[in-house]
Chains A and B, each alone.
Chain A
Amino acid sequence: MSGGTLNLFIGLAMGLNLLALGSSRLPSLIRAVSLQGVLLGVMPLLLEHDTFDWRVVLVALATMVGKGLVIPGLLRRAMRAANVEREMAPFISYVPSLLLGAGGTIAAVALARGLPLLPEHAGTLLVPGAIASMLTGFILLIGRAKAISQVCGYLILENGIYLFGLLLIHSTPLLVESGILLDVTVGVFVIGIIVDRIQRAFDSLDTRKLTTLRE
């Protein structure tokens, strides 16, 4: 039965992608990312049903805390410090990005059917979920002007890769997985600090102001 629960969770995560694309307010964008992080953290537990492995539980817990609490908390702090609540005039506005995201999700499901997958993975939404999340991440990275929204895009992109990585959870040693998780967390942490510094140096988090360096 766990396959069904897993698919439900991935479906929810894909719904959160669309929510992230459609929200103009930064707090709801951060909330969507944080909720997606928690959902992703639960997934390894659903996959690992026959044998109980405490290391998987550890990875799951670390994911939930890192992606669900620590990183969103950092982003909220940066948001309050910069006093921005809303994404004004994005490069790709909300309705087109929603349409792109929805079309991308459908295309991802269709594309995943065409991919050569092992029989045990063919029934899950892991691959379509991964492709859809990566696409959402890219749309946010390219289409938003505020640094915090771009970081959220990067997080959703990473979440997509994480979903794909779940295909390999039985074969890759957990040392590698925890290393990857650590790197991602530190990465976003560093990005968060830079966001803070940009805010202080430019008095704004609008990346359109970052145009001094060009040919």
Chain B
Amino acid sequence: MNAFLIIVPLVGAALAAVWPGNRTRPWLLPAVGLVHAVLTLWLFVDPPTVAPTAWLGFDPLARAVLPAVSLLFLVCAAYGVSYLKVRSERPNRVFVALLLAVLGLLSAGHQARHLGLLWIATEAVTLAAVPLLHFNGTPRAFEATWKYLLVGGTGIALSLLGSFCLGYASLHGGGEGDLTFVALTAQGAGLSRPWVLTAWVLLLVGYGTKMGLAPMHTWKPDAYGEAPGIVGAILAGGVTTVAFTAILRVRAVIGAAGEGAIADRTLLVIGLFSMLVAALFLLGTRDFKRMLAYSSVEHMGILSLGAALGGAGVAAALFHVWTNGLTKGALFLSAGNIRRAAGSASMDEVRGMSILTPRSAAIFVTGMFAVTALPPFGPFFSELQIVRAGLASGHGAAIAMFLGCLLFAFFGLTRVVFGIVDGRPRTAARANGKRFVETAGVIVPPLLLLCLSLWLGLFCPATLREAWSAAVAQLFPTP
């Protein structure tokens, strides 16, 4: 049953690759997205029992995050239909097929219970995303793609090395080198300590590159800045999530090996460093799509910090995966509209968008407030939960720094957002903006994501909270 989450999108991708009509092909996106979402919901409500030796399984951790990715994809897919209609001059065969392939591979990565399989799935997602990044075909887009490939490729190579090191830790500790997480956790303290620590460093750097934690975040502003908004939304809400769950799964093994304290300390430091770097760059950037990338780096830092704070922190981080993914999706999609209407992404050339694209600008501003933790939107509550977890576990100084970075990020974001929204539009932009019509197809999806963020803040259902605590129970088993 859970295998269909992988098979359906991949079959959809194959279908898209042979589908003849450029105009009708994009409808495959919402069709497959809907099937995927229904299947995920079904599995969420009625979770299957996972055999402990299974390589793939809809286990509590997958149950806690995969629905968010599926939901985000479905809304983005609906946006994709209108987006590709606007971009009808470009062939979309590769774009649609690979977007669907990304969904299938993400489902595989989230459900992977084997270190090697997890690596294969994440690497495949990285590669499948490459043509999505240079969909616009500009020299800038190719430059961004090249940087993404080099930095991402090196990161993914290091995580493969880390996976091998963890396997060798098992061999050296007298185990059989079985790379399923269950077997590695069961071996626990029997894993060879030096190899476990080497593996942790390499895996954190490797998957941290994929997540976009500083200082391995350098690909992110370029890639998010040049890719279409829909791709940015799925990368920031889905691909980074699979890397985060990878780190959580590895962290559980390291914890079982008795090195949890060291792992938590590194996660804390790298999380705060990412937040700091992001906040500083947010104060300097003049490009509103790159701004979203730095904001994403900041939120990856928040996730990493949450993961360092023990069980309550991990539950809060899983909550934040949902709130950040959905809110960031609204921001990316509305920013895509604004970028298309304005013809540029730099605040030196763009202003007065509240006149040219009033609806997108309203969503963009509201989304910005939501993502900077304005109540009653979701991110406020997830970040509050992280603050609580931090204070309860005695990390007062870290929480103070966390709040300081949030404040600076708020300054940076408002500076750019109001810079492009306020004022009088330029004459050149006026002509360009007239050609872009804010149809329901490009307005409803980001609005819906914003509503979902509000819903998570105000009426977060008890089943979701229960799913997050079940995932925590899987990661921190009580003997």
Q: Is the CB of A168 within 8 A of B127?
A: no
B194 closest partner in A (C-beta): A116
Which of A116, A165, A176, A198 contacts B146 (CB under 8 A)?
A198
In whole Å, how far is B175's beta carbon from the nearest beta carbon of chain A?
9
Residue B322 interfacial (CB < 8 Å): no
Residues on the A chain within 8 Å of B160, using CB: 161, 165, 180
Q: Could you list 20 examples of A-B contacts with CB < 8 Å? A: A116-B195, A141-B150, A147-B146, A150-B150, A154-B150, A167-B171, A172-B116, A180-B160, A187-B127, A187-B153, A190-B149, A194-B130, A198-B143, A201-B142, A212-B140, A213-B140, A213-B225, A213-B226, A215-B284, A215-B290
Q: Does residue A106 face the partner (Cβ distance < 8 Å to B)?
A: no
Question: Given A116-B195, A186-B127, A212-B140, A179–B168 Cβ distance below 8 Å?
Answer: no
Say whether B177 faces chain A, with CB atoms less than 8 Å apart: yes
Question: Which of A154, A170, A201 neighbours the largest number of chain B CB atoms within 10 Å of its CB?
Answer: A201
* Smallest beta-carbon distance A199→chain B, Å: 10
Q: Is A197 interfacial (CB 8 A cutoff)?
A: yes
- Which chain B residues lie closer than 8 Å to A215 at the CB level? 221, 281, 284-285, 290
Chain B, residue nearest A188 (CB): B153
Provide the residues of chain B in CB contact with A154, threshold 8 Å: 150, 153-154, 157
Interface size on B, residues (CB 8 A): 49
For residue B167, CB closer than 8 A to chain A, the reply is yes
Interface of A is mostly: helix
Q: Provided the pairs A116-B194, A168-B164, A171-B171 are in contact, do residues A180 and B284 lie with their beta carbons within 8 angstroms?
A: no
Q: A183-B124, A194-B145, A213-B143 are in contact. List 11 more A-B contacts (CB 8 A).
A: A154-B157, A161-B157, A161-B164, A180-B116, A183-B123, A187-B123, A187-B153, A194-B130, A194-B134, A213-B140, A213-B144
**A190 and B130: CB pair below 8 A?**
yes
CB of B182 within 8 Å of the partner chain: no
Minimal Cβ-Cβ distance residue in A for B284: A215
User: With contacts defined as CB atoms under 8 Å apart, how many contacts are there between chain A and chain B in the complex?
Assistant: 111
What distance in Å separates the Cβ of B292 from its nearest Cβ neighbour in chain A? 14
| A100 proximal to B (CB < 8 A) | no
Checking B176, B192, B226 against A116 with a beta-carbon cut-off of 8 angstroms, the contacting residue is: B192
Known pairs A147-B146, A158-B157; A118 contacts B172 (CB<8 A): yes
Distance (whole angstroms) from the CB of B145 to the closest CB of chain A: 6
Q: Judge if A83 is at the interface, Cβ distance under 8 Å.
A: no
Contacting pair B167 A172 (CB below 8 A): yes
Do A176 and B116 touch (CB < 8 A)? yes
Question: Is A179 in contact with B116, judged by CB distance below 8 angstroms?
Answer: yes
- Could you give, for residues 110-127 of chain B, a 1 whenever the CB lies within 8 Å of some chain A CB and a 0 otherwise? 000010110110011001
Shortest CB–CB separation between residue B218 and chain A, in angstroms?
10
Q: Is the CB of B116 within 8 A of A198?
A: no
- Cα separation A26 to B347 with both chains bound (whole Å): 42
Interchain CA distance A165-B115 in the complex, whole Å: 13
> Which chain B residue shows the least CB distance to A170?
B177
Once the chains bind, are B164 and A157 in contact (CB under 8 Å)? no
With a cutoff of 8 Å between Cβ atoms, the chain A residues found around residue B154 in the complex are 141, 154, 157
CB distance from A186 to the nearest CB of B (A): 6
Residues of A within 8 A of B225 (CB): 213
B176 touches A194 (CB 8 A): no
Lowest 6 CB-CB distances: which A-B pairs, in order?
A171-B177, A176-B116, A179-B120, A201-B139, A210-B143, A183-B123
B142 close to A194 (CB less than 8 A) = yes
